[in-house]
Amino acid sequence: MASDSKVWHPYTPGIGGKEILIDRGEGAYLITKEGRRIFDGISSWWVNLHGHGHPVIAQAIARQAEKLEQVVFAGFTHEPAEELAAGVLKFLPPGFSRVFYTDNGSTAVEVAIKMALQFFHLCGEKRSKILALENSYHGDTFGAMAVGARGPFSAAFQDWLFDVEFILPRYTNPKGSEEGLEKAIRLLETGTVAAIIAEPLVQGAGGMLMYDAGWLDELFATARKYGTKIIADEVFTGFYRTGTPFASSRLSVLPDLICLSKGLTGGFLPLGITACREEISKPFYQADYGHTLYHGHSFTANPLACAASLASLGLLQKPETTLRINRLCGLQKAFCQKVEASFPHLNPRQLGTIFALTLSPEDGLNYTHPNRALIYQYFLDKDLLVRPIGNVMYLVPPYCASESDMDRLHSEIITFLEKYA
């Protein structure tokens, strides 16, 4: 434990004081100085892909640090940023042609919203509305909070958030209704909606809620028909979390803007990307300052982060990584079926490498539910990091998790459910 700490920790009641001091990471494990090995069942807030301390990424960062650690990104560029932009565009679904760098998921979302709004401003078209999904989470900065579901995270700032229209997705488990789509169609038909933003197929922080591609395709097709710009927030779902390179890879109607972060650097360094289609960037191609996107962070396109990201992209393209991801998807799918057979009332759900269930679903999704502390402590006592979202228990392991790691994790969950579900 970190004693006499002066650190204020995020999402921690009472500011903190009881944190476990981690000394190093190795594959899917976080290790304390005393040698306690904790399995990272949530990829350290969903950022880690290949395992902690992966030598290929660590060495790429070290090499880059000896060459160029940072350079102002206005008026200057560098090879890792140029190579990464080309690499990410090749990796994305077809049609994307530009990459804008920031340094986290929230700012990738801020930039996407700004690009969409400024696009219409530059085109001289008045569109005042933004559409988002209920139960969504897009980050903690003000614009990202505004397009996220209103709840305990944003309650103190409610009066300062701009107006957004929210619609309910058609969830898969429990099955949702069509009302959200009907409301969206009515709004989109007015031609006043500038942008729609969605976490495609899985709403992470909202409770690992899953909804189907057919529903999203219909929503995006309607948006495209009426000229609304489509933003896919793939900060969580990107880089094979859902079993395909991006959740958008499962869609027939592709977005206009994609936000990436978290797994972008394999979880080693902060970096954000907002990628867009040529059509979005075109009105900005003017020499005068009036057409400039006035957004840029000090550490935009940090060379170390870009080098880490290039190394991670390289690892993602290796056949053994594909095998690992496919194995993890298969194990999570089989486990979900097992939970469904014995505990169908917990709404078990799975997509790709992600598994989730809701303990006491009759209480609804509740971030401060007492089950949160129960689940967290129960598994931590067994050296398993399973940090729930309120009463939602979920697993998002790194792709290097072994079959025996997953077997142990799954069987501990069954034992827990037999006692508490």
Ligand X SMILES: Cc1ncc(COP(=O)(O)O)c(C=O)c1O
Tokens of 267: 């979880």
Return d(Cα 367, Cα 49) in angstroms, integer.
26
Q: With binding defined as CB under 6 A, does residue 102 bind ligand X?
A: no
Q: Contact region for ligand X (CB under 6 A) — 12-20, 99-107, 165-173, 239-247?
A: 99-107
The DSSP bridge partners found for residue 257 are 231, 276
Q: Kind of pairing, strands 384-385 and 24-26? A: unpaired
**Marked catalytic residue, from 137, 171, 240, 394:** 137
Q: Please choose, from the candidates 127, 105, 152, the residue with its C-alpha nearest in 3D space to the C-alpha of residue 11.
A: 152
Shortest reach from residue 274's CB to ligand X, in Å = 12
Told to check if 106 binds ligand X by CB under 6 A, we report yes
Q: Counting Cβ atoms within 10 Å, is residue 116 exposed (0-12), middle (13-18) or buried (19+)?
A: buried
Q: What minimum distance in Å lies between the beta carbon of 293 and ligand X? A: 19
Tell me if 236 contacts ligand X by CB under 6 A. yes
CA distance 307 to 302: 9
Task: Give min distance, CB of 288 to ligand X, in A.
Answer: 32
Inter-residue contact 309 to 84 (CB < 8 Å): yes
Choose, by CB under 6 A, the member of 261, 302, 321, 347 that binds ligand X. Answer: 261
Q: Considering beta carbons, is residue 201 or 235 the nearer one to ligand X?
A: 235
Q: Does 397 bind ligand X (CB under 6 A)?
A: no
- Which of residues 61 and 273 has its CB atom nearest to ligand X in the complex? 273
Question: Is 129 annotated as catalytic?
Answer: no
Nearer to ligand X, 135 or 332 (CB): 135
Total interface residues for ligand X by CB under 6 A: 14
What string marks each residue from 114 to 143 as x (binds ligand X by CB under 6 A) or -? -----------------------xxx----
Binds ligand X (CB under 6 A): choice among 40, 233, 256, 412: 233
Report the site for ligand X in 182-221 (rule: CB under 6 A): 199, 204-205
Order of strands across the sheet that contains 193-198: 96-102, 272-277, 257-260, 229-233, 193-198, 129-133, 165-167
Please say if 233 is a catalytic residue. yes
Is the CB of 205 or the CB of 325 nearer to ligand X?
205
Q: What share of the chain is helix, strand, coil (3-state, %, to 5)?
A: 40, 15, 45
Q: Does 110 bind ligand X (CB under 6 A)?
A: no
Of residues 116 and 339, the one with the C-beta less far from ligand X: 116
Q: Which region, left, alpha or beta, applies to residue 249 given φ > 0 means left and ψ of -120 to 50 means alpha?
A: alpha
Tell me if residue 137 is catalytic: yes
What burial letters (b/e) apply to 147-182, b meaning 16+ CB within 10 Å? bbbeeebbeeeeeeeeebebbbbbbbbeebeeebbe
Return d(Cα 115, Cα 213) in angstroms, integer. 25
C-alpha triplet 65, 67, 72: angle, nearest 5°: 85
Residue closer to ligand X by CB (options 104, 173) is: 104
Binding site for ligand X (CB under 6 A): 104-106, 109, 137-139, 199, 204-205, 233, 235-236, 261
Q: Active-site residue numbers?
A: 11, 137, 233, 262
